[in-house]
Amino acid sequence: MTGDDAVIEVSDLCKSFVLHHQGSVRIDVMRGAHLSVARGECVALAGASGSGKSTLMRMIQGNYRADAGRIMVDGTDVARADPREILALRRARMGYVSQFLRVVPRVPTRDVVAEPLLLNGAAPDAARAAAEEMLARLNIPERLWNLSPTTFSGGEQQRVNIARGFVHPYPVLLLDEPTASLDPVNRDVVLDLVRAAKARGAAIVGIFHDAEARAQICDREIDVAQFAPAA
Ligand SMILES: Nc1ncnc2c1ncn2[C@@H]1O[C@H](COP(=O)(O)OP(=O)(O)OP(=O)(O)O)[C@@H](O)[C@H]1O
């Protein structure tokens, strides 16, 4: 694949952490990391625990700052973008699904899921209807839709997160263990959502400890350990 058709293009990426409260110890996590993801492709970040999968994903998301290198995401260099540009990218073009739900307390589940559509200009009725369809698809009982998801079970919260991540057609999706706490039925729903996102052209980067899920939906695996400075 050439860089021209890549939606995500990471190059020469370096990251170390300095532990200021522990004698300023420096941990070099990666040097010269690179990654290319095209439209419609799902790439898994693989590698042993501690090799830097989450760190790389958080840098693509703009949560961790890169020490050097480029992180092009749908035309924006996240490594150099200011916070406003990163927020704009996340709002319209880069969805993120983690295992854990973080929401404003007391907002009903239906509104939590509709929010990405409303932020992107959808009409309230259409956004609510799309949110309900997604919640039904992910088997969240209708009696829960008016409640805040803060008291939901781990698997329910994860499904609300997934509904929120897939309700808007983001061209880029970052998935951090999206099937971790799910039963087989809901896991298959999520795998179908990923397949549909690929079919509409989304570029996806994911961390999947579930090897079978990874085999079903990922086109390639990148072993992040190859970017370790000592390697
Ligand atoms: N915020 C942080 N501050 C300091 N060190 C960090 C931070 N985040 C990650 N690290 C270090 O960076 C290295 C890579 O961690 P990371 O969480 O990216 O690995 P991982 O491959 O995702 O691991 P796992 O599969 O166990 O989740 C580890 O040595 C970790 O201690």
CB atoms closer than 10 angstroms to residue 92: 16
- Residue 117 covered by a domain: yes
Q: Cα separation of 220 and 37, whole Å?
A: 10
Report yes or no on 112 lying in a domain. Answer: yes
Residue 4: the pLDDT is 59
CATH number at residue 171: 3.40.50.300
Mean pLDDT of 10-33: 92
Any domain includes 32 = no
Instruction: Find the angle CA(164)-CA(169)-CA(170) to the nearest 5 degrees.
Output: 85
**Per the confidence metrics, is the pTM higher than 0.90?**
yes
Please indicate, yes or no, if residue 5 is contained in any of the structural domains: no
Ligand 1 midpoint to CA 123 (Å): 41
Q: Name every protein residue with a CB atom under 6 angstroms from any ligand 1 atom.
A: 17, 27, 29, 47, 49-55
Q: Structural domain tally of the chain?
A: 1
**3-class DSSP state for residue 69?**
strand
Q: Does any domain span residue 7?
A: no
Alpha helices in the chain (DSSP H): 53-61, 83-92, 109-119, 124-137, 154-166, 184-199, 211-217
Identify whether 107 is part of a domain: yes
What's the CA-to-centroid distance between 38 and ligand 1, angstroms?
Answer: 26
Residue nearest to atom 3 of ligand 1 (CA): 17
181, two tokens: 């706490």
Find the range with the poorest average confidence among 15-19, 38-42, 159-163, 227-231: 227-231
Q: Around Cβ 65, how many Cβ atoms within 10 Å?
A: 10
Cα dihedral 150→188→192→205 (10° resolution): 70
Please report whether residue 23 resides in a domain: no
Domain that holds residue 61: 39-65+82-227
Q: What CA–CA distance (Å, rounded) separates 191 from 105?
A: 29
Task: Please give the ipTM for the structure prediction.
Answer: 0.96
pLDDT, tens digit (0-9, with 9 covering 90-100), for 117-127: 999 999 999 99
Answer yes or no: are the C-beta atoms of 60 and 8 closer than 8 Å: yes
Question: Does 19 fall in a domain?
Answer: no
Contact 198, 150 (CB under 8 A): no
